[in-house]
Chains A and B, each alone.
Chain A
Amino acid sequence: MTHPFLSIRNLRKAFGAIVAVHDVTLDIPRGEFLTFLGPSGSGKSTTLYAIAGFQDPTSGDVLLEGKSLLAVPSHKRNIGMVFQRYTLFPHLTVAENVAFPLRVRRRPDADVKKKVADMLALVRLESFAGRLPGALSGGQQQRVALARALAYDPPILLMDEPLSALDKKLREEIQGEIRRIHRQTGVTILYVTHDQEEALHLSDRIALFKDGRIEQTGTGEDLYLRPATDFVAGFIGNSNFLAAEHLGTTNGTTTIRMTDGSVISGVRANGTFGKGQKTRLMIRPEAFSMERSPASAELNVEIVDIAFYGERRRIVARIAAGQEVDIRPTSAMQSQDVWPCSRQVFFDPAAAFLFPA
Chain B
Amino acid sequence: MDETVRAVSSRSRVAVMSVETRRNFGTVRVPAGLNGLLPALILIMLFFVIPVLALLLRSVTEPEPGLQNYAALLGDGTYARVFFNTFLVAALVTVATVLVAFPVAWMLAIMPSGLASIIFGIIILSMWTNLLTRTYAWMVLLQRTGVINRTLMTIGVIDHPLPLINNLTGVTIGMVYIMLPFMILPLVGTLRAIDPMTLRAASLCGASPFQAFRRILVPLSLPGVAAGGLMVFVMSLGYFVTPALLGGTSNMMLAEMIAQMVQSLLNWGLGSAAAFILLVVTMVLYALQLRLVGARRTSGGI
Contact = CB atoms under 8 A, between A and B. Distances in A.
Interface string B199-218: 01111111111011001100
Interface in A142-171: 145, 148-149, 152, 170
A79 B300 contact: no
A101 interface: yes
Interface stretch (A130-138, A182-190, A343-351): A130-138
B204 A74 contact: yes
A5 interface: no
Interface of B: 3, 6-7, 195, 197-198, 200-209, 211-212, 215-216, 219-220, 299-302
Contacts, number: 89
B3 A87 contact: no
Given A52-B200, A77-B204, A148-B201, 6 more contacts: A52-B204, A73-B203, A75-B208, A87-B200, A137-B3, A140-B3
A54 B200 contact: yes
Contacts of A136: 7
Contacts of A75: 203-209, 211-212
Q: Which of A83, A103, A104 has the most CB of B within 10 A?
A: A104
A279 to B, nearest CB: 46
B166 to A, nearest CB: 44
B207 A89 contact: no
Interface of A: 52-54, 73-81, 83, 85, 87, 89-91, 100-101, 103-105, 132-137, 139-140, 145, 148-149, 152, 170, 173
Contacts of B207: 75, 100-101, 104
Given A137-B3, A137-B6, A87 B203 contact: no
Contacts of A137: 3, 6-7
Contact of B198 (A74, A77, A89, A103): A89
Contacts of A52: 200, 204
A145 B7 CA distance: 18
Contacts of B3: 137, 139-140, 170, 173
Contacts of A104: 205-208, 211, 215
A87 B215 contact: no
A121 B149 CA distance: 65
Contacts of B215: 89, 100, 103-104
Nearest to B201: A87
B154 to A, nearest CB: 42
B298 to A, nearest CB: 11
Contacts of A132: 299-301
